Amino acid sequence: MGLKDRPSGTCRSGVVEVNGVQVFAGLLGPEEQAALVEDLRAVVARAPMFVPVTRFGKRMSVSMTSAGKYGWCSGAGGYRYEPRHPSGAPWPPIPERLLALWREVTGLERQPDSCLINYYREGARMGLHQDRDEADFRWPVLSVSLGDDALFRVGTTTRGGPTRSVWLHSGDVAVIGGPARLAYHGIDRIRFGSSWLLPFGGRLNVTLRVVG
Ligand code: SIN
Ligand code: FE2
């Protein structure tokens, strides 16, 4: 299936571009969102969420875990991809539904080998950063929003460049790729309790990447 084969009416408002990052608003309908949450629940059961520490030793406000060959980890040694969860167990496989979404949206044969799952509780945010721990920036990063609305800020590829912001809603899918692959981006805040998708509120963000 390709993007154009999606049943009409699924996409509420089409594609929005924010400093080169493409946002497919409302790409995922309610059933697909709920199914993805179930998939992610199964991943978290095997690879529990943990709170990462920045390289400056500060606890992040998001919790995270991963699926796939590589998972993103951080700590005093900096940021890196690891083949294992901090427990020592390998990461669970990336759910098939997410792999299908990657194929559909990117049209790429190459599969992602890393799936980072971030959970934003009330008050959580993520500062402006570049995704640059992957080996080859020709591969895009695909980002899926589930749950509460989030204010997504996108800058240019230079630190301190002008930024633009857009609210991401549950079911939105963003592609950070092409000339915007190294664009600075972050989440200023979430609107806690704005979605019914997650029983305890908050927001899940899933990013699929080619790391190796
Ligand atoms: C990230 O940059 O890793 C997360 C972006 C988001 O939560 O939408
Ligand atoms: Fe990022």
Which ligand is in closest contact with the Cα of 167? 1
Q: What is the pLDDT of residues 199-211, one digit of tens each?
A: 999 999 999 999 9
- pTM reported for the whole predicted model: 0.95
pLDDT bucket at 26, cuts 50 / 70 / 90: very high
The rounded distance, in Å, linking the Cα atoms of 163 and 113 is 30
Q: Which CATH number belongs to the domain containing residue 173 in this structure?
A: 2.60.120.590
**Ligand 1 atom with minimal separation from the 203 CA:** 7
**Does the pLDDT of residue 9 top 50, yes or no?**
no
Note whether 210 and 138 are within 8 A (CB).
Answer: no
| Residue 23 CA to ligand 2 centre (angstroms) | 14
How far does CA 147 lie from the centroid of its chain?
Answer: 12
Cα atoms in the Cβ-side hemisphere of radius 13 Å centred on 49: 17
Q: Is 207 in the pocket of ligand 1 (CB under 6 A)?
A: yes
Mean pLDDT of the chain: 94
Neighbours of ion ligand 2 (CB under 5 A): 131
Q: State both tokens at 156.
A: 């240019």
Which residues span the domain enclosing 63? 3-209
How many structural domains is the chain composed of?
1
Which has the higher per-residue pLDDT, 8 or 210?
210
Q: What is the pLDDT of residues 134-175, one digit of tens each?
A: 999 999 999 999 999 999 999 999 999 999 999 999 999 999
